Structure 1
Amino acid sequence: MVSNTVEIIRRAVKAADYTIGYTGLQNPHVSEGYSYRKGLHGKIMWTAGFWPGLLWLLYAHGGKREYAKQAVVFERSLSEWLERTGPNSGHDLGFQFYLSAKANYQFTGDLAARELALKAAGHLAQRYNERGGFIRAWGAIDTDEDAGKIIIDCMMNLPLLFWAAQEGGESRLHEIALRHAHTSLSYLMREDGTFYHTYDFNPVSGQTVGPGTHQGHSTDSTWSRGQAWAIYGFALAYKHTHEPLFLEASRKAAQKYLQLLQGDERIPPWDFDRPQGDQTVRDSSAAAIAAAGLLELAQQESSMSNAKVWATHARRMLEALEAECACSLEDGQEGLLIEGCYHYPAGKGKIECTSWGDYFYLEALFKENEGISIY
């Protein structure tokens, strides 16, 4: 594994301790000048589960109760927000509550946290479009804008539904997640193993409209973070359903992701098909997600040789992240990874720390070295 894993984890703990002092109820989202302090967002965003998730990983790693206490503070904030917004909060209820309330229940057995995660799963299910067989990504459920849109990111929200069904929630939660995964496989995956970022359906008839993108360079380009979501998301779908199509989709996504990397490159560009001349902006968060996804894929493989291939590539990505993108607290960088890219087309967070990049980096390290994971 990474040569100085102990030092990497020590730095992660130090970074968390440094950040706990000022986050309060504000959620680290994307840094500004590598400072989360400057880039904090008080409102609940799609990323609001990553910091409590990171805290739960640290709690599971070292047992320090301060991490659990701070994670619960975030959970309470999310709970209050859910009461106000319900199903109108968006499809990222999976990111938000699987990594907070579900993680709380996983590591402490807190029954109130379990009920909160089940409630969030119920709200997520209300975003399901029966005719189209998909979970609506964005917008309030009584509005028309984006009413028929799905995005590849949502594959990472499905574990909340799968888990809830297993935990005594309605059996239809499993069926909703299963059908959305099949819809995503049918319409987001291209023949060559790359993925569209978005796809639109007619929300009334369920008929297809066509693909698009929100954060990629173009409709037909391969947004690197989206490809990473596909690797991990379909591996998790296979984990919960054991449907071979999902395992094969994760494999194809992984093979294509690795094929698109140039030479010894391990940190991908923000989009594999970015314009010529735009060679400088990378996305460390995509590499962190891909590493965690490859490790999950390795765990789901029945073939030891296949598992070894995926795990080896994951380790190389973690080594590159350590060597090229690890934050320096001595330089005032308030995170785990630099060179994350949030939303290049909108000019947001092009070369910064990202809360999701930090989370998946730590998850990959702990998954590989200690078997600790929330997913």
Structure 2
Amino acid sequence: MNKYGNITYTIGIWSGFDQTDRLVAQARSWFRSFSDVLVFTEMTHPWDSDKIKREALPCNVTIIDLGFGYGRSVRRAGYFSGRLEAQFRFLPGMQAAYERFPNASFYVFGDDDTYFFKPSLIKLLNSSNPNISKAYGRSYCSSDITKLMKPSPNYWSCRHFLQGGAGVVFTNNLFERIGPKLINCSEKFNSPYFVASMRFALCAARYIGSDEWEHRIADNMQNVFHSEIPDLEVPKYGLSEPPITFHKMTKATFDETFKARYVKYKIKRKKFLADLGEITYTSQDIYMLNNNYRLSYRPGMSIYVPYTGEMFNRTSKWKPIIENISLVGAEQRYGKFTVRLLFDENISFGKIIPHSNYPRNNIFIYKMQKPEIIPLN
């Protein structure tokens, strides 16, 4: 179980028995920001499990075979879509997390193509109360689900659910009320075409009450829980807040986001990662000598020059700046531009502020909050 101050939280990932490559890509990227991750699956060969655990170090990965054979039974019934099979491990995985850690403050879940940013997730958990029933994520709705309600609620045009693949967060209080009932819900609503996130919504509405789920528990936070990859979500929305998740990631996009987010470095043969996730992909401004002229900066992704219409994408990894055997900053190139970030504990979360600029040399020096450092050995 993960801890931050007085907060404890679990992170669980739903994955298929044939998705080892995707899990390995997850493990070597964002898993390493956390101390523990649970993987719910039907899993795998021992060597697959060992590879995932090895790539995730120093994170401890626990692979849980749900034991229900849901995915296999779906195949025997003639459904060969991995997406359909995945629906059957959603609620059992949730209940398994609750049974293992009934006293966790929060329960966090995602798919094997979900990408989590720890700094923003911790910010959300710090501002939330685990002793009230809340669920956070990206909300969608379906008019079809209301037809299955008894009695059918004729005064809503849709039933809200939080998309599991975009990442979901539940409080302990909510899971105390619904956690023990999740297996029953999964068995009752077991059509392979019934999306798992909707199953949870229906389960909550049945046992807690439709009005409470719709209007007081489910919290749509689509500005930080994203349902697509960064290349689609960032240009579309322009991130005003640091992201908590992205979805539909591939091995390539996991690797690219790692380069955008982490500073990898060594000091005296010891390896470290610095996590710049609180600013990665966010919308920032870089000011020229005249404050009327500015560049649009998305850390880890690009620099856009509005008065020429030119876009300069990231062309390097983060390069560490080390002084007196300590990491004091990092720099990254975007075509002809270089952005140098110096770490300062006094900077606000998710912000960069000017330190000094050399526009003629296309070098811009800014300050950001000192990041979390992750020892790798």
TM-score by structure 2 length? Answer: 0.24
Q: Which one has a larger percent helix, Structure 1 or Structure 2?
A: 1
**Structure of higher RCO (CA pairs closer than 8 Å, 6+ residues apart):** 1
TM-score (norm 1): 0.25
